A and B are shown apart, each in its own frame.
Chain A
Amino acid sequence: MRYSGMKVLWEGLTGNRGWKPVWREPEPKKSYDIVIVGGGGHGLSTAYYLAREFGLSNIAVLEKGWLGSGNIGRNTTIIRSNYLLPGNEPFYELSMKLWENLEQDFNYNAMVSQRGIINLYHSDSQRDAFARRGNAMIMAGADAVLLDRAGLEKQCPFLDFDNARFPIQGGLWQPRAGTARHDAVAWGYARGADMHGVDLIQNCEVTGFLIEDGVCKGVETSRGAILARKTAVCVAGSSGRVMSKAGMRLPIESHALQAFVSEGLKPVIPGVITFGAGHFYISQSDKGGLVFGGDIDGYNTYAQRGNLPVVEDVCEGGMAIMPMIGRARLLRMWGGVMDMSMDGSPFIDRTHIDGLYFNGGWCYGGFKATPASGFCYAHLLARDEPHPTAAEYRLDRFISGRMIDERGAGAQPNLH
């Protein structure tokens, strides 16, 4: 069923009786060409692009809970392509371009809103670093504008420009960045994949891999064994847990990231704003809630919740750049488990086990990557060669010395 304005009008006039479930609920078959483990944003977009771009459809997505029950439904929905390094920026810019055409492509309203992102800078040296990053973005085909104080004051008069500790000098603005409705992204990809014949199988936990002589022949699940010529894992925060069942240790630790939403307010914040001297970022949802977050909690965890010290730290960050936020009441907060990698960058790669592929290490930034991650993973699965923009996301990059460390923080996941 295609959605359109006419369809909404027609259904409105005829009692909304014609809407159908958005996807089927099939029983798993005995075998598939490709089995995707994890029905989050990346698993669903991989299935969608495998079917739509690469013409494959004998595919199943296995999800242990319900579709979108992981980080895709927990994040703060920021999409952007403001990276510095050549291994990253072309990939995230591909993602940005896919976002720009996504809703037309999968015929679903994902509320993609290019309201812009501004990274604040607080010193001369930080301004210079941001100018360099802006230039790298422009060279990769993205957009960037360096705002001085006057330019920033026009957009965000409410900022605490003369803060005694971290005065705000300006910001790096990416006008094409913004936000999207996270669940709708999962639902849109799920519906699109289902329409192309992909089986979406919920409540189906992968409990092991069928590995014979170094070849992965499928998976063991809570609903029985399912054979596959290729098994594609993308379970985000559960990466360590799942890949250990194939005997693999990963350059990844699992950490909790929290998010916060205030009560609904009239429009106050134009786009996304990030603090340059601490870790704090904020946007305002279409319902009016201030959506914000900051640092990860900083210790290994698989609990989808965090602790109070980081809550305080995030709120202090908010108070430092926009004291008005102190008047807003917090409505909800929650946490998700992040697959933090050793250099802060992700993996889209084969493993040393034939037929077993891995996608993970997205840290706190994998939502924006959802379209390109699925596209490039699908490319790898369909053609057995990496997509050019994701060619550096290799599992062996630490031994070959090709880390992609945007922060230059070294092999410590809680610093990225």
Chain B
Amino acid sequence: MIINHPLLGPRDASEFVYLGDASLIDRPDWQAKDAQQQFHDYLYLRDNPAGAHRELWFHEQGDRSWLVVTRDTITHEITNVELARDVALQRGRGR
């Protein structure tokens, strides 16, 4: 698989480390009343879809940036690659 890095262009997937579903960006609020349940769901439960999947890849052998890759889990076709930083900022996380 080739991942089209937004800054570095096409890179072989073997340069990256895979973390999992991009919902891992949405860390729950630790002060919420049901924080325990929320953290359980966040950490352990997955949609695990057959089809389009947004997922976190880390460019360990490259510029060490985190990417959000949209990839089809049936065909392995990659349709979109974003910097995870941009995605997190769009979702109102971080400054």
Contact = CB atoms under 8 A, between A and B. Distances in A.
Contact of A240 (B37, B49, B71): B49
A399 B71 CA distance: 30
A252 B48 contact: yes
A412 B20 contact: yes
Interface string B38-58: 001101111111100101000
A253 B74 contact: no
Contact of A307 (B13, B49, B53): B13
Given A244-B47, A307-B1, A399-B37, A412 B76 contact: no
A303 B48 contact: no
28 contacts: A239-B48, A240-B48, A240-B49, A240-B50, A244-B48, A249-B47, A249-B48, A250-B48, A251-B44, A251-B46, A253-B46, A253-B48, A254-B48, A299-B18, A300-B73, A301-B73, A301-B74, A301-B76, A302-B50, A302-B73, A303-B74, A307-B1, A307-B76, A309-B13, A398-B40, A398-B43, A399-B37, A411-B44
B17 to A, nearest CB: 8
B19 interface: yes
Contact of A298 (B18, B21, B53, B73): B18
Interface of B: 1, 12-14, 18-21, 36-37, 40-41, 43-50, 53, 55, 71, 73-76
Contacts of A307: 1, 13, 76
Contacts of A253: 20-21, 46, 48
Contacts of A399: 36-37, 40, 44
Contacts, number: 75
Contacts of A302: 50, 73-74
B48 A300 contact: yes
Nearest to B17: A298
Count chain A CB atoms within 10 A of each CB in B19, B45, B55 and give the residue with the most. B45
A51 to B, nearest CB: 32
A241 interface: yes
A342 B73 contact: no
Contacts of B71: 299
A258 interface: no
